[in-house]
Chain A
Amino acid sequence: MVESIKTLSDQDHSAKRLFKDKFVYIGVIVLSAITISPIVLIIAKLIIKGYRQISLDFLVQNTPDSFQAMTAVANGEIIPGGIANGIVGTFVMVVLAAVIAIPVGVLTGIFLYENQGKFIANLTRNISDILQGVPSIVLGLISYLWIVKHVTNGFSALAGSVSLSIMMLPMIVRSTEETLKMIPQTLKEAALALGVPYHKVIFRVLIPTGFSGLLTGILIGISRILGETAPLMLTALGSSMINIDITKPTSAIPLLIWDFYNDPNMIGLIWSSSLLLMAIVLILNIVAKQVAAKRS
């Protein structure tokens, strides 16, 4: 008996365990590296291929025509012109989409928060989740039917914004509800105990308190719709000029990337446009993370 205990404790597994430990450790590092490698490779590729085109002109000039681009490429120069029409179009459409989606989304989020567990709220929440899963091209199609056909009677920035706002809506609804749920109930009671009417409690206590959470949701929502291409093809169509009339066809950065892809002479502009779009999305995400971190 004593003998067997002794032999058990004498068994030395430490070498095997150390090996296992090392094996798992290296595995974790390798797999993590695989996870981050796409984003690193993408950014590296965009910078390498795109940086030459980036200049002030690139930000303030309209897209060149195919012939200008061809001549430049033939002479070994950088392609003249820029994507200002796309930048302005994206800005106009995203801002308009946010203006449509934020009030509706925030109010719906408040409604869900205030009616936890009720049938109508659960139904709304589920439908909002389903909306999030609707393919973006379908939203474009719907916006084409509603807006292009009946409101603006032609392709328009408004139609693009409507499809983008529908994409954004569920994200804002969710983030509003989740943010409000994280605010302690006692804060709400504190305000009510001061005789503050209910709507003022929501708009002057709960929303300001959860503001950073709401802002994070909105920024993430905007960064999601910035790169949307499919719905814009059916709604905003594109334009070679800067356009700020929301009832007229308008360009956007992702639409331009698609155009450049289809024109052999413009290939050079794909990379710089993608780099710019990527940079904007990246910055928005970093800002959103900072805002969220500040809250906690």
Chain B
Amino acid sequence: MTNTIADIKDPILSIKDLSISYDKHKAVKNVTVDIKRNTVTAIMGPSGCGKSTLLRALNRMHELYENIHTEGEALLNGLNIYDMSTIKLRRKMGMVFQRPNPFPTMSIYDNVVAGYKLNGIRAKKKEKDEIVERSLRDVALWDEVKDSLHKKGTFLSGGQQQRLCIARALAFSPEVILMDEPTSALDPIATSKVEDLLVKLKENYSIVLVTHNMSQAARISDYSLFMYLGELVEYGKSKNMFTNPVDPRTEEYLTGKIG
């Protein structure tokens, strides 16, 4: 790997020698990387390069599937995520998925506080109201839905649903938000709204964003990782990487020769 940033102090996430394999196939190979606090860090690369696989290792989603094995470690604020309970870890690491997936049986309101409801955490009505309003304001959805909070979340448009899902992840005040191509199922207008939102959210959260859309990474990320065939090829400030890539493979990807 080239162009490593050695001087990230007090990283929010510190991934060390992480490898992930599906059955015998190694999808992510010995990735070591530190993620800076309060930034948007984009993971990009062509399909099948292991970017989503790497992201999903961070909240240990892979443990749902028996054929996926993970080696190495990842530290969240210096604590090994593999020593925590998945329940605790996932409350600190929110996740937003490729397709909007609000809970179809729940209202908009209940979707936002789903983390509390489903976990059986009792909160007063007033507290919940505050959480809902704050989270929906954070994702710029409040004005659009404040009069229909008790309608089903699935009645919203795709872009609104995705912002609702982001609000759901924010409700727990996580430290990191993992986003797996959050705009790939959205139209351009909804996409730009979500992108604006991410830039705003980094004030309070650290965001790791998987995207196959280079221009999106260029537009909103502070740091970028380029992965190719499971390897971390290049990591650096997005500004530098997009204008002056160090590794020839990065350059080939950015100029459209691979991918």
A and B part of one assembly: yes
Q: Of B87, B94, B101, B118, which one neighbours A186 at CB under 8 angstroms?
A: B101
Assess whether A205 is in contact with B103, with CB atoms less than 8 Å apart: yes
Q: Any chain A CB within 8 A of the CB of B158? A: no
Alpha-carbon separation in the docked complex, A186 to B99 (Å): 8
Assess whether B90 is in contact with A194, with CB atoms less than 8 Å apart: yes
Alpha-carbon separation in the docked complex, A204 to B114 (Å): 10
Q: Any chain B CB within 8 A of the CB of A38? A: no
Q: Any chain B CB within 8 A of the CB of A26? A: no
Assess whether B87 is in contact with A195, with CB atoms less than 8 Å apart: yes
Q: Residue on B with the closest CB to A185?
A: B64
Q: Residue on A with the closest CB to B119?
A: A196
Given the known A-B contacts A196-B118, A200-B119, A200-B120, are A190 and B101 also in contact in the complex, defined by CB atoms under 8 Å? yes
Q: Any chain B CB within 8 A of the CB of A21? A: no
Alpha-carbon separation in the docked complex, A205 to B114 (Å): 10
Given the known A-B contacts A184-B101, A187-B103, are A196 and B61 also in contact in the complex, defined by CB atoms under 8 Å? no
Q: Any chain B CB within 8 A of the CB of A209? A: yes
Of residues 179 through 218 on chain A, the ones whose CB sits less than 8 Å from some CB of chain B are 184, 186-197, 200-201, 204-205, 208-209, 211
Interface centre among B91, B115, B118 (most CB of A within 10 A): B118
Q: Residue on A with the closest CB to B99?
A: A186
Alpha-carbon separation in the docked complex, A208 to B104 (Å): 9
**Inter-chain contacts of A197 with B (CB < 8 A):** 87, 119
Assess whether B103 is in contact with A195, with CB atoms less than 8 Å apart: no
Q: Of A187, A195, A200, which one neighbours B101 at CB under 8 angstroms?
A: A187
Assess whether B90 is in contact with A192, with CB atoms less than 8 Å apart: yes
Assess whether A195 is in contact with B97, with CB atoms less than 8 Å apart: no
Assess whether A194 is in contact with B91, with CB atoms less than 8 Å apart: yes
**Inter-chain contacts of A190 with B (CB < 8 A):** 95, 97, 101, 103, 165, 168
Given the known A-B contacts A189-B64, A192-B64, A195-B172, are A209 and B103 also in contact in the complex, defined by CB atoms under 8 Å? yes
Q: Any chain A CB within 8 A of the CB of B199? A: no
Q: Residue on B with the closest CB to A205?
A: B103
Q: Any chain A CB within 8 A of the CB of B88? A: yes
Assess whether A208 is in contact with B105, with CB atoms less than 8 Å apart: yes
**Inter-chain contacts of A205 with B (CB < 8 A):** 103, 105, 118
Assess whether A195 is in contact with B99, with CB atoms less than 8 Å apart: no
Q: Residue on A with the closest CB to B56?
A: A189
Assess whether B118 is in contact with A193, with CB atoms less than 8 Å apart: no
Q: Any chain A CB within 8 A of the CB of B135? A: no
**Inter-chain contacts of B115 with A (CB < 8 A):** 194-196
Interface centre among A186, A192, A195 (most CB of B within 10 A): A195
**Inter-chain contacts of B168 with A (CB < 8 A):** 190, 194
Assess whether B99 is in contact with A194, with CB atoms less than 8 Å apart: no
Alpha-carbon separation in the docked complex, A188 to B97 (Å): 12
**Inter-chain contacts of A191 with B (CB < 8 A):** 103, 114, 118
Alpha-carbon separation in the docked complex, A204 to B118 (Å): 7
Given the known A-B contacts A190-B97, A190-B101, are A195 and B119 also in contact in the complex, defined by CB atoms under 8 Å? yes
Alpha-carbon separation in the docked complex, A201 to B114 (Å): 11
Of residues 45 through 97 on chain A, the ones whose CB sits less than 8 Å from some CB of chain B are none
Alpha-carbon separation in the docked complex, A187 to B115 (Å): 13
Q: Any chain A CB within 8 A of the CB of B59? A: yes
Q: Any chain A CB within 8 A of the CB of B89? A: yes
**Inter-chain contacts of A204 with B (CB < 8 A):** 117-118
Q: Of A193, A196, A208, A211, which one neighbours B59 at CB under 8 angstroms?
A: A193
**Inter-chain contacts of A192 with B (CB < 8 A):** 61, 64, 86, 90
Q: Of B89, B104, B117, B165, which one neighbours A195 at CB under 8 angstroms?
A: B89
Alpha-carbon separation in the docked complex, A189 to B61 (Å): 8
User: How does the 8 Å CB contact mask read for B68-92 relative to A, with 1 for contact and 0 for none?
Assistant: 0000000000000000001111110
The smallest C-beta distance from A215 to any residue of chain B, in angstroms, reads: 13
The smallest C-beta distance from A265 to any residue of chain B, in angstroms, reads: 55
Assess whether B105 is in contact with A193, with CB atoms less than 8 Å apart: no
Interface centre among A184, A192, A201 (most CB of B within 10 A): A192
Of residues 112 through 165 on chain B, the ones whose CB sits less than 8 Å from some CB of chain A are 114-115, 117-120, 165
Alpha-carbon separation in the docked complex, A155 to B237 (Å): 81
Alpha-carbon separation in the docked complex, A90 to B114 (Å): 41
The smallest C-beta distance from A46 to any residue of chain B, in angstroms, reads: 40
Interface centre among A194, A204, A209 (most CB of B within 10 A): A194
Given the known A-B contacts A187-B103, A209-B104, are A194 and B119 also in contact in the complex, defined by CB atoms under 8 Å? yes
**Inter-chain contacts of A194 with B (CB < 8 A):** 90-91, 94, 114-115, 118-119, 168-169, 172
**Inter-chain contacts of B169 with A (CB < 8 A):** 193-194
8 pairs, CB–CB < 8 Å, chain A vs chain B = A184-B101, A189-B95, A191-B114, A193-B61, A195-B88, A196-B119, A197-B119, A200-B120
User: With A191-B118, A192-B61, A195-B87 given, can you name 19 additional A-B contacts, CB distance below 8 Å?
Assistant: A186-B97, A189-B95, A189-B97, A190-B168, A192-B64, A193-B61, A193-B95, A194-B91, A194-B115, A194-B119, A194-B172, A195-B88, A195-B91, A196-B115, A200-B119, A201-B118, A204-B117, A205-B105, A209-B103
The 3 A-B residue pairs whose C-beta atoms are closest, nearest first, are A195-B91, A195-B90, A193-B95
